[in-house]
Amino acid sequence: MHVDWMVRKMANMKMTKIPMAEQDPLVRNKNFLEVALGYTLEEAIDEANRCIECKHQPCKKGCPVNIKIPEFIKEVKEGNIKTAYDIITEDNGLPAICGRVCPQESQCESVCVRGIKGEPVGIGRLERFVADWVMANEKQEPPHIEPNGKKVAIVGSGPASLSCASDLSRLGFEVVIFEALHELGGVLMYGIPEFRLPKDLVKREIDLVLDLGVHVEKNVVIGKSLDIDDLFDDGYDAVFIGSGAGLPKFLNIPGENLNGVYSSNEFLTRVNLMKAYDFPNNHTPVKMGDSAIIVGGGNVAMDAARTAQRLGAKEVHVVYRRGMEELPARKEEVHHAIEEGIIFDLLNNPLEIIGEDAKVTGMKVIQMELGEPDASGRRRPVEIPGSEKVIDADTVIIAIGQTPNPLLTDATPNLELNKWNCLQVNEETMETTVPNVYAGGDAVTGAATVILAMGAGKKAAKAIYNKLILEKK
Amino acid sequence: MYKILEKEILNDAVQKMVIEAPFVARKCEPGQFIILRVAENGERIPLTIMDYDREKKSVSIVYQVLGYTTQLLAEKEVGDTLLDFVGPLGKAAPIKNHKRVLGIGGGVGSAPLYPQLKKLASMGTEVDVILGGRDKDLVILKDEFNDICKNVYYATNDGSLGHQGFVTDVLKQLLDQGQEYDEVIAIGPLIMMKAVVDITKPLNIPTGVSLNPVMIDGTGMCGGCRVTVGGETKFACVDGPDFDGLLVDFDQAMDRQAHFVEEEKHACRLDGAKNG
């Protein structure tokens, strides 16, 4: 489909991005439908025309997988959306997902020339538009692939694994993904909520990877059902570990095992993966109550807070020990949360979770003030003596981070870890301390972004190809 | 999909199934568990493995028809399939080379007890067992235990089999008689395991228990199965499910077990209305 009837040749010199339609905050905070509604074709072309096609193309270098951004935007300007899609997918197999959840403001868009005066080009919005448009309007035929005779096992099916599987498959490898859960997608399915990343869309983008001929074994836990050694015994030539950072951190304060205290993982998995928002049609429940406290200030904390509100909590507090400036969540997520009515109790540190009859009734916090910068460069919060108070709540959700799951590494003692319990790899090849075993994503970096995980998966795929195919020639 | 190879009705409330599950049967050990989902939209429920056959690539599970998901499971017949069946999860039970061990199985808890005692017996340990239930029909796997145990004692609430009363009455009697055991392994309702530990702890008899709390993934991801053991928070799914019973905070475990009871009833009632 060609859409030249709308093509506009003139650059659009507006200082701000073409706005993207969103659900009204007070409507959307009661439903699980997507918040941002995406561009129309006309809006996309208008926004694409804000790109001035500068010579040095900083956006490309700002992208962890170096998508050919100016090239794809040029095609959008011309209305060649499928061509734009093909350009993106040369470097990124999951554009509908990345267009939604990448932190563009600290990557490609942060270095856009248009951002020097005014807002940068809405690269993320355009990526999302292109992916959605092609999914809706084009049937995609999988490419013909010549098998190279080698077999690779992939552990986990999150973004790192999917991008590794996709690249390996295109290079002719027989690829089998082993997933512990009953759905593919890892954090894309269990972690990020429907209203930010619709699960149908995740499934469709994963299906495109499977269409390349990637096989899947769900319900297999590597480290339990099978070990790495078993995989080599079974004829795999290499293994890629993309098992993520799935282990929840807790505060280790009194009252944390009271009923009504969830890890953000448990809470979000119940709601996203198990669809507890649709209980009892889906059979997994979640208990919400009238008021919730979310501890933490990252994207997961924002997701949990906004989810709690959508489940009917009338009062949702985010408790974070530093200030607004220090919130690690994306600005856009914080902005959405504020619009939706989430209360931010910043500069408050949890001391104790309080309960009655084994159930949560509130949390005791102490007021903090910011002191001198610490090792991370952020100003260190210091307690203000005598400033304790209690915030009432029926539910407390701990969203202070995740670490890699030790299940696989416990079963594979020669896989060496760094001091953060992350897998140690050669940064050039992503190979671990066990030959032919590669790793990438949160299992290596600790909790990070989808696109960094995808970049690592791609790097590993290339290294596996170099070692098993090129060097053998 | 995971095929049901055999199904056996053990009593009104308890059934056994043999499921074809190659990836579970390949490496599972006594004490480990599986998580299953019967059908789309279903809950993930953990069940401890009762037996396994590596050659046939099959795993046996025993379940009590109690909540919504076990009702759905009970409706399945030989030849039907289960949507999801993942494992083996958790650590293998810490089976030590003892001279003499006493097993205590309460109701459906006798099922996960069986593979542990079977393994001990195969290692040459002398094994006795106390099996309990509300009435004689609810005492399960009698023949299986008879094959591997030296002495099998029974306790039923109504006295229809063995001692009238609790398994702990029999335990007390045995200990009062001067019977000596290197370890007691008790698996059953939390309240039973707690009562056993109340007896064995003052005598300092090592006591293993197996916990089966609410969980979702079974791989350490959700942390819903938190349990306090020796003052420390543990995840039953990856640190257990077997723990040193003398250190478990049973009161907290019972509180946590009750968290979703209302929702469980709600789902069951709705299904009753739908069928009814």
Per residue in A253-301, pLDDT (tens digit) is: 999 999 999 999 999 999 999 999 888 888 888 988 899 999 999 999 9
Mean pLDDT, residues A429-442 taken together: 96
Centre a 10 Å sphere on the Cβ of residue A231 and count the other Cβ atoms it contains. 21
Do A347 and A341 form a contact (C-beta atoms < 8 A)?
no
Whether residue B223 and residue A265 make contact (CB cut-off 8 A), yes or no, is yes
Of the candidates B88, B216, B264, which has its C-beta nearest A266's C-beta? Answer: B216
pLDDT the model gives residue A4: 52
Centre a 10 Å sphere on the Cβ of residue A259 and count the other Cβ atoms it contains. 20
Three-class SS state of B198: helix
Quick check: B220 contacting A, CB < 8 Å?
yes
B272 pLDDT more than 70 = no
- Closest residue in B to A360 (Cα–Cα): B259
Mean pLDDT (chain A) is 94
A466 pLDDT more than 60 = yes
Quick check: B43 contacting A, CB < 8 Å?
yes
Of the candidates A246, A274, A279, which has its C-beta nearest B220's C-beta? Answer: A246
Phi, psi of B248 (to 5 degrees): -75, 135
B271 pLDDT more than 50 = no
Q: Structure tokens of A131?
A: 């992916």
Q: Which residues of B touch A269 (CB under 8 A)?
A: 216-217, 221-222
- Classify burial at A129, counting beta carbons within 10 Å of its beta carbon; exposed 0-12, middle 13-18, buried 19 or more: buried
Q: How far apart are CA A389 and CA A380, in angstroms?
A: 21
B274 pLDDT more than 80 = no
Closest CA to B13 of B135, B104, B113: B135
- Closest residue in B to A281 (Cα–Cα): B41
Whether residue B221 and residue A285 make contact (CB cut-off 8 A), yes or no, is no
DSSP β-bridge partners for residue A431? A438
Of the candidates B219, B266, B267, which has its C-beta nearest A180's C-beta? Answer: B219
Whether residue B41 and residue A257 make contact (CB cut-off 8 A), yes or no, is no
CA distance A409 to chain B (A): 13
Instruction: Report which secondary-structure segment, H or E, holds A282.
Output: none
pLDDT the model gives residue B267: 61
Quick check: B56 contacting A, CB < 8 Å?
no
Model pTM?
A: 0.93
Quick check: B265 contacting A, CB < 8 Å?
no
- Closest residue in A to B256 (Cα–Cα): A259
Of the candidates A182, A263, A279, which has its C-beta nearest B84's C-beta? Answer: A182
B208 pLDDT more than 90 = yes
- CA angle, corner B17, sides to B14 and B19, nearest 5? 155
Q: How far apart are CA A378 and CA A167, in angstroms?
A: 38
Of the candidates A260, A283, A405, which has its C-beta nearest B220's C-beta? Answer: A405
The residue type of A314 is K
pLDDT digits (tens, 9 = 90+) for A114-123: 999 999 999 9
Contacts (Cβ under 8 Å, ≥6 apart) of A145: A169, A170, A172, A212, A213
The residue type of A37 is L
Contacts (Cβ under 8 Å, ≥6 apart) of B199: B168, B171, B172, B175
pLDDT digits (tens, 9 = 90+) for A167-183: 999 999 999 999 999 99
- CA angle, corner B5, sides to B2 and B10, nearest 5? 115
Quick check: B87 contacting A, CB < 8 Å?
yes
Burial B24-47 (b: 16+ CB within 10 A, else e): bbebbbbbbbbbbbbeebbbbbbb
Q: In the Cβ-directed half-sphere of B255, how many Cα atoms lie within 13 Å? A: 19
pLDDT the model gives residue B273: 37
Contacts (Cβ under 8 Å, ≥6 apart) of A430: A438, A439, A440, A444, A456, A459, A460, A463
CA distance A417 to chain B (A): 18
CA distance B250 to chain A (A): 13
Three-class SS state of B138: helix
Instruction: Report which secondary-structure segment, H or E, holds A79.
Output: none
Whether residue A269 and residue B267 make contact (CB cut-off 8 A), yes or no, is no
Contacts (Cβ under 8 Å, ≥6 apart) of B276: none
Mean pLDDT (chain B) is 92
DSSP summary character for residue B248: B
Q: Structure tokens of B174?
A: 């045995």
CA distance A200 to chain B (A): 15
Whether residue B233 and residue A250 make contact (CB cut-off 8 A), yes or no, is yes
pLDDT the model gives residue A372: 87
Q: How far apart are CA A258 and CA A354, in angstroms?
A: 8
Q: How many helices (H) and strands (E) does chain B have?
A: 9, 16
Whether residue B42 and residue A281 make contact (CB cut-off 8 A), yes or no, is no
- How big is chain B, counted in residues? 276
A319 pLDDT more than 90 = yes
Mean pLDDT, residues A53-70 taken together: 95
Quick check: B44 contacting A, CB < 8 Å?
yes
pLDDT tier for residue A6 given thresholds of 50, 70 and 90: low
Of the candidates B87, B217, B270, which has its C-beta nearest A181's C-beta? Answer: B217
Q: In the Cβ-directed half-sphere of A459, how many Cα atoms lie within 13 Å? A: 22
pLDDT the model gives residue B276: 27
CB contact residues (below 8 A), chain B span 92-131, against chain A: none
% of residues, chain B, pLDDT over 70:
96
% of residues, chain A, pLDDT over 90:
84
Q: Structure tokens of B53?
A: 């056959």
Whether residue B233 and residue A257 make contact (CB cut-off 8 A), yes or no, is yes
Centre a 10 Å sphere on the Cβ of residue B79 and count the other Cβ atoms it contains. 9
Q: Which residues of A touch B42 (CB under 8 A)?
A: 283
Measured over the CA atoms of residue B183, residue B184, residue B185 and residue B190, the dihedral's sign is negative
Instruction: Report which secondary-structure segment, H or E, holds B132.
Output: strand B126-133
Mean pLDDT, residues A61-73 taken together: 96
- Closest residue in B to A245 (Cα–Cα): B221
Quick check: B275 contacting A, CB < 8 Å?
no
pLDDT digits (tens, 9 = 90+) for A368-404: 999 888 887 878 899 999 999 999 999 999 999 998 8
Q: Which residues of A touch B224 (CB under 8 A)?
A: 262-263, 266
A443 pLDDT more than 80 = yes
Of the candidates A219, A259, A287, which has its C-beta nearest B256's C-beta? Answer: A259
pLDDT the model gives residue A473: 73
CA distance B223 to chain A (A): 7
DSSP H helical segments within A286-339, as ranges? 299-310, 331-339
Whether residue B220 and residue A250 make contact (CB cut-off 8 A), yes or no, is no
Q: Structure tokens of A272?
A: 């996203």
Whether residue A405 and residue B263 make contact (CB cut-off 8 A), yes or no, is no
**Structure-token match 């734009």, residue found:** A84
Do B140 and B110 form a contact (C-beta atoms < 8 A)?
yes
Q: Which residues of B touch A220 (CB under 8 A)?
A: 23, 86
A2 pLDDT more than 60 = no
Of the candidates A265, A279, A287, which has its C-beta nearest B221's C-beta? Answer: A265
- CA angle, corner A448, sides to A122 and A406, nearest 5? 160
CA trace torsion B55, B58, B59, B62 (10° rounding): -130
Closest CA to B223 of A188, A257, A194: A257
Quick check: B39 contacting A, CB < 8 Å?
no
Q: How far apart are CA A261 and CA A363, in angstroms?
A: 11
Burial A51-74 (b: 16+ CB within 10 A, else e): beeeeebebbebbbbbbbbbbbbb
DSSP β-bridge partners for residue A74? none
pLDDT digits (tens, 9 = 90+) for A186-243: 999 999 999 999 999 999 999 999 999 999 999 999 999 999 999 999 999 999 999 9
Which of B26, B89, B91, B217 to mutate to test binding with chain A, by most A CBs within 10 Å of its CB?
Answer: B217
Strand A315-320 and strand A291-295: the pairing is parallel
Whether residue A269 and residue B221 make contact (CB cut-off 8 A), yes or no, is yes
Contacts (Cβ under 8 Å, ≥6 apart) of B167: B104, B105, B106, B130, B131, B132, B155, B188, B192, B196
Whether residue A225 and residue B267 make contact (CB cut-off 8 A), yes or no, is no
Q: Which residues of A touch B89 (CB under 8 A)?
A: 221, 224
